[in-house]
Structure 1
Amino acid sequence: MSQIAKESISTKLIRSQSAIQFVKRKKVKQQQQRMEITAGKRVSIAKYIAEQRSKARDIVLCIQRKNIKLVAIDFDNTLLSIHTSGYYQGTVDNLIEYIRSTFYYFIQEILNSSAFGQTLHICIVTFSSQEQLIRQLLELAFKTPKTDRIIIRGNTPKFLSSTNDEGFLGKQSHLSSVVTELATQRKKTIKPHEILLLDDDVQNILIAEKFGHKVLEIRDGINLDILKEFAFNVLPEC
């Protein structure tokens, strides 16, 4: 083999090795970039969660300062972004994705509060009769035994048989029942103006106002910024 041929082969080998090293370096760089992007996303997600929790914590502290002792949350189109029509047939696992993030963070911070169960309480008030479904959903979403202390009042046969409503009174019978349970079973006294009802139904809101409760109509655009604005600047002092 001639010297020129040997040099040509040697040059090709060097070029080939250089190309391989280039590709390897490029792959390593791409992997590093992917790792950096992933890490960046993780930081962004962690930062977002921290911000949402901070907002929710501010809201919880604010409503306590304004002497709210019972937060009553509607189920369909309020806690959830959909309406189950009181006849949900799917699994709880599938339903969890419809919990509004606003209420997820808000309820989570109430559960985390040292005031929960003492001077601050939560209840779910709904025309749905599927109380067991709602209980399972809360347990799955928040993963704490504290959810046992969230009172759920729905239109079960037992509840309906105990009411003596003449005409439509919105969620008033539900709220009265919850207040009675808190008084008799937990020795907690709740006055009408110490109740905050969060509901998407305007009729329920108007009726609750007539009974002296604080209210906020929930719309599809609800977020923690709106809830915080309401708590700080709209919700009156008790």
Structure 2
Amino acid sequence: MENKSPFLDTLFLLRKEGTMTIFADIQEISKKEEEDAATYFESEFEKERLNFLSDKIPFSKEAALWAGKVLYHSAQLYLIRKDTAKDVQKLLPPFHGLKDVSAVLSADLSLRFLPQIRDALHVADAADPVVKILDEILVQFHYSAIGSDVYPEKISFEEGLKDQTYRKLYLERILENKAYKLAEIPYINQLLMAEFGMYKDVFWRDLQIINSEPIKPQSGEISSTG
């Protein structure tokens, strides 16, 4: 397809309709497109903020735009690979900004769709270097990978889930996706059981209760490891 703004159309269709459009080639993203995308992401962030139960988490334009570009380029690389090998690192760069709660939740506006693209690429070619890059991104931003096959090993959840709002959203997404592998991590398991209380079987009947040391009350901000 040809369009005046492949970047914006890809983002909009994925978020609104869950569909992906592949364009004729990978075009440069203009400054105007970036500004329009930032405005769109900020409006979407404000809508989702209603579920945060907190008005203290600001929108991160830097993280949202970075994630939007990663999503767009990943989608296009699913079919368009001619003469792209030399540009993959440029098209899918790591995030160099401050990775706090604001960045994680702003990036998630796009990155929540990345596991599906990653899986499609993996089915096509498990040795595809793009798959490895996307895995690294999803491990770093593992909130967006909950429910997928990408598993964040060696993560300090005690540090990463200090922020009360982020912890609530993280646990809710684990429950929503029935992410057993995460839910059976002792620390995560205890947090979930504390939230379920006597209604554990109502929320998640077949989730095992993992015995471990009692957890300490948490407060503060997400660290760079979370």
TM-score, normalised relative to structure 2:
0.27
The structure showing larger relative contact order (alpha-carbon pairs under 8 Å, at least 6 residues apart) is 1
Q: Which has the larger radius of gyration?
A: 1
**Bigger fraction of residues in strand:** 1
